[in-house]
Amino acid sequence: MNVVGIAFEHQAVPLGGSKIGGRPHVSRDFAWPGDLAFVAQINFAECKPCDPADLLPSAGIMYLFSTCDEEDVIDGDEDAFAVRYHRGPLSDLTVHPFPDALDETEGQFVERRMIFTPSSMLAAEDELDEDISAALGRVDSEARMLGRPDFFRPELEGAFDPATDTLLLALPGMRLWRGADDRASIYGDGGFFVTISTDALRNEKIEDAWALFEAGT
């Protein structure tokens, strides 16, 4: 199964470039969604060359914002996550400051550039032991786009239907850093999966995407 693999690099991020953390590059009329933390922005033009199935848009930037309150995650609060989408030129963008209400300790992550590469993962019906899976380059535990969510909590099984849904991002929480030696704790070894109905994706209704949170153990 073809997927888009994601690596994270400490390098300068051009305006509108794909990244996690830091401050979002948004239009000048952008309104920050409540007290949510900025998690990532993905420029589809950068990951499109790694999408041989032609599932993703060819342009536009998706912005992901998430709660930093573990109780909101556990309770499934509908305001715990927000998606925004910019379809205009990069010249319309500016680096947005953090709002005063955003906690500096809990709500701000270290900026890292996203680098996209073609990758693959096993189909759901394939069963291989861990050594063979690693030798084949299985990327279930890596940040990626497309494929299927690889949940370890049974209560989330059935939350994603590959016949009707598309995975826009699988991001382990341990990829997020609040400082040089402090990883994000809200997800632990869990994370969140950004999914969207395939019909909404086809019509570029990116803001219809939603998140499936999976707290760590």
pLDDT in tens, 55-108: 999 999 999 999 877 677 656 567 889 999 999 999 999 999 999 988 777 788
| Sequence letter at residue 75 | D
Q: Which band of pLDDT confidence, cut at 50, 70 and 90, is reported for residue 214? A: confident
Give tens-digit pLDDT for 115-165.
Answer: 999 988 755 544 445 554 444 444 444 699 999 998 888 888 889 999 999
Q: Is beta strand 112-120 parallel, antiparallel or unpaired with respect to 19-20?
A: antiparallel
User: CB-based contacts of 179: which residues, under 8 Å, 6+ apart?
Assistant: 110
Give tens-digit pLDDT for 10-54.
Answer: 899 999 999 999 999 999 999 999 889 999 999 999 999 999 889
Residue written as token pair 């509108």: 16
Please measure the distance between the N-terminal and C-terminal CA atoms of the chain and give it in whole angstroms.
28
117 DSSP β-pair partners: 5
Q: 186 with 160: CB under 8 angstroms?
A: no
pTM > 0.75: yes or no: yes
Q: The tokens of 44 are what?
A: 């589809």
Distance of CA 92 to the CA centre of its chain: 23
Cα–Cα distances (Å) from 23 to 112, 168, 189, in that order, read 11, 21, 24
User: CB-based contacts of 71: which residues, under 8 Å, 6+ apart?
Assistant: none
* Dist. CA 32–CA 68, nearest whole Å: 15
Decide yes or no: CATH 2.30.320.10 for domain 2-214. yes
* Dist. CA 195–CA 210, nearest whole Å: 6
* Dist. CA 203–CA 195, nearest whole Å: 15
